[in-house]
Amino acid sequence: MSVFTLSQAAKEGVLLKELSALTEHHRENCEPYARILAASGYTPATSVAGLPWLPVRLFKNLELKSIPDDEVYKVLTSSGTTGAEVSKIYLDKAAAAEQTRKLGATVQSVLGPKRLPMILVDTKAMLKDRKSFSARGAGVLGMSNFGRNHVWALDNEGHVDVEALKGFLEQYGDEPFLIFGFTYLVWLHLYEVAKDNGLDLSNGILIHSGGWKKLVDQAVSPEEFRNRLAGVGLTKVHNYYGMIEQIGTIFLEGPTGGSLYCPDFADVVIRDPETWAEQPVGQPGLIEVISTLPTSYPGHVLLTEDLGVVHGVDDGDWPGKRFSVMGRLPRAEARGCSDTYREAA
């Protein structure tokens, strides 16, 4: 079972219909959204790239939801890199259940239906306060559904628990197992330790995320990350890109590496940061993320502050667009568009 099946043309046909309907749904049920669209001269879209987008930062400035207060089941929050501003994402029960199911279907595209023994490259201490997990905690917890017999690679002080890893590998190392962690934690704590202790990770499937900034500071590129991990036997490696504002939607790296792919219910459009026009293949720009999952808040078409580039269409491991994330747009440059929207709202 895979959610990476649709060619780009087939996908755009499905998405244009579903997302146009979602746009209407949010216009009817989220007043600030309707006002923003009216102020920017909204007309129904004739292509996926023509769908009206919101800057992702808007969720830090406005309360945007398309459900009545008494149907709010969960409010997800994330602090951005600035710390002070917090995005608020409102889910009803239906949206919460659907995002879990779609994340599950996406991950099963590479893991299969069975839960695998699982190494969490993190510390259990992070989950101490179960009423308020960090975004990191929520990510780890969401992924832990796909594993069983979990072992934490880090102890409560954040040191690597080599004995726990050795014990896990003794018991489960001969069959496929799952490794999940944030990219820089995997690099700092798993790769180094596996190398130094001769741990055999060759049956592991690694899923990792969390941005490259901390690794770029250490001059580790995605290619080198992959190559070095292959050096300790870890060749099944899937990076992913996703954000709390589109919870449940992840863009997953294909088996041969180097490109992220969009599941059937999602897509990306790369935009010129000055004209907002769609960039051709190979031209970097701002990443717009598109997903059918946000039904309880108008987050179905979001312009991020991340830079990316589409490498090709229908020419990779899986059909559709394949792309990379290159980093964040310097903050000052993105300010204009978000301010415009704030005034309109």
Partner 1 sequence: MSDLQRLREAFRTALDLPADAPVDDLQYQDNEKWDSLAHMSLVAAIEDEFSVMIDTDDVINMSSFAEATRILGKYGVDFNE
Q: Which two tokens stand for residue 252?
A: 């997953």
Is residue 115 involved in binding partner 1 (CB under 8 A)?
Answer: yes
Handedness of CA 197, 203, 208, 212 (dihedral sign): positive
Is residue 113 involved in binding partner 1 (CB under 8 A)?
Answer: yes
Asked if residues 187 and 221 have their Cβ atoms less than 8 Å apart, the reply is: no
Close Cβ partners of 47 (under 8 Å, ≥ 6 residues apart): 12, 16
**66-95: which residues touch partner 1 (CB under 8 A)?**
73, 93
CB 151, min distance to partner 1, A: 13
**140-179: which residues touch partner 1 (CB under 8 A)?**
141-142, 144-146, 148, 150
CA pair distance 43, 263, nearest whole angstrom: 27
Tokens 């072992």 label which residue?
151
**DSSP letter, residue 264:** T
Asked if residues 144 and 208 have their Cβ atoms less than 8 Å apart, the reply is: no
Scanning 79-87, 99-107, 220-228, 310-318 for contacts with partner 1 by CB under 8 A, the matching segment is 99-107
CA pair distance 244, 234, nearest whole angstrom: 28
Scanning 2-10, 102-110, 209-217, 300-308 for contacts with partner 1 by CB under 8 A, the matching segment is 102-110
Asked if residues 120 and 140 have their Cβ atoms less than 8 Å apart, the reply is: yes
Scanning 40-48, 139-147, 225-233, 253-261 for contacts with partner 1 by CB under 8 A, the matching segment is 139-147
From 9, 97, 277, 344, residue interacting with partner 1 (rule: CB under 8 A): 97
In whole angstroms, how large is the CA radius of gyration of the chain?
20
CA pair distance 255, 317, nearest whole angstrom: 7
Scanning 136-144, 253-261, 265-273, 289-297 for contacts with partner 1 by CB under 8 A, the matching segment is 136-144
Scanning 105-113, 222-230, 287-295, 327-335 for contacts with partner 1 by CB under 8 A, the matching segment is 105-113
Is residue 311 involved in binding partner 1 (CB under 8 A)?
Answer: no
Interface size with partner 1, residues (CB under 8 A): 22
Strand 321-328 versus strand 116-123 pairing type: unpaired
Is residue 114 involved in binding partner 1 (CB under 8 A)?
Answer: yes
Is residue 108 involved in binding partner 1 (CB under 8 A)?
Answer: yes
Least Cα distance to 101 among 242, 265, 253 occurs for 265
Residue among 146 and 241 whose Cβ is closer to partner 1: 146
Instruction: List interacting residues with partner 1 (CB under 8 A).
Output: 73, 93, 96-97, 100-101, 104, 107-108, 111, 113-115, 127, 130, 141-142, 144-146, 148, 150
